[in-house]
Chains A and B, each alone.
Chain A
Amino acid sequence: MNERGVGYIADTLVFALLISFASLLLVGVSPTDPKIESTRYAASFAQSTLLALQHSTADEFGGFEYRLGSPGFELNVPVLGDSTKRTLHHKTLAQLLIEDALLNLRVEVGEVELELSKPNQNMKIKLREFLKRVLDELVGGRFGYRLTVKSSPVELDFARVYFEGDIKNLDEGAQRKLCSETIVATLPIPQDELAQLIREVLGISLEFEPDPAVEITLELWSS
């Protein structure tokens, strides 16, 4: 083989090297960032879920009912019959989520959170179980989720009062928060009743009417 032949081979090898470099670039480069796509889908999914929860009733998922009492002790006295039983079949899932938050009054004095006696614990536990089952069916399997319901805080001279509840299903595989969507709903009880509820728990009289709006936030996580 003469020198010209060696030159041709060298040129071809350089050319082949350039082609393989281009191939590697093409394989590595993604036309769109997959994170953007998954985030966009998750945001749309979360928004649709929050809106759909405002329409569906508990009845659709077998209904929700509970007996008055506390954990381990139910007022299941034959004489009382079904008078201790409460059925909430007609309530929408969003209303039940807000009720769950209403059962969880939080009072902060300074930076310290006060431990309050929690009435209706039995309902709270059953409601949580029910709502988690519904959300697992709707969202679980595709995404990890955290659904938070929080009222606007009522600022008092000495304390900060708000209602809060959250239901989540974040397994160890949950890697990254994809999105957080929020809708604002109104509390299903009138303002004066809400003020009375706070009065009963704190033992003080309120001379204002707290804002009855609540934020329902759904965070979706990649699983």
Chain B
Amino acid sequence: MEQFSVGEDLFATLAVVGLLVIFIAALAHSYHIYAERKSAYESFDLALNTAEDIKNRVLAASPGSIEWAADKLEDYSGLLAQQGIELRVEIRSLGGEVLHAYGSEQNQLDGYFSPPASASLPVAIVRGQESVQLCELIVRVWRG
């Protein structure tokens, strides 16, 4: 029967377990980075799709121009909310001034668990009769 030697075997066990823990932590961290990157791409894809949808369909006045209508955005936002997606839409002038906005800002705690993704596209917004302004449509989405 083999004798258990406390000094050497315990040290070896601790070293091996410690090494394993370090490597498994590294693996978990790598997976976390991978998953975060994947999620960022998916979120950006969603933001871009949503921006294109709003520009080409929801608020479209003619190809390339939009007309602001908060009620249409509310209906569209409701559809997204059914899939657990929150939405904020801003129309900014090229100088950065917010001309129109829809949806609430994401709070900091939610932002920690589900970082928002945003996409912006240039649009011409119809303002009054035959007057248009070149602006930027900014769409921000996140999982609620």
Contact = CB atoms under 8 A, between A and B. Distances in A.
Contacts, number: 103
Interface string B50-82: 011001000000111100000000000000000
Nearest to B38: A31
Q: Is the interface of B mostly helix, strand, loop or mixed?
A: helix
Contact of A37 (B26, B31, B41, B52): B41
Contacts of B132: 55-57, 60
B127 to A, nearest CB: 10
Interface residues of A, number: 38
Interface stretch (B17-25, B83-91, B101-109): B17-25
A48 B64 contact: yes
- Give the dominant DSSP class at A's interface: helix
Interface string B26-56: 1101110110011001001100100110010
B121 interface: yes
A41 B119 contact: yes
A49 B135 CA distance: 10
B27 A19 contact: yes
Given A26-B27, A52-B123, A40 B63 contact: no
B34 to A, nearest CB: 5
Contacts of B20: 12, 15-16
Nearest to A50: B64
Given A19-B26, A48-B64, 16 more contacts: A5-B12, A12-B20, A23-B23, A23-B30, A26-B33, A27-B30, A31-B34, A31-B38, A31-B41, A37-B45, A41-B44, A44-B51, A45-B121, A45-B122, A48-B55, A55-B65
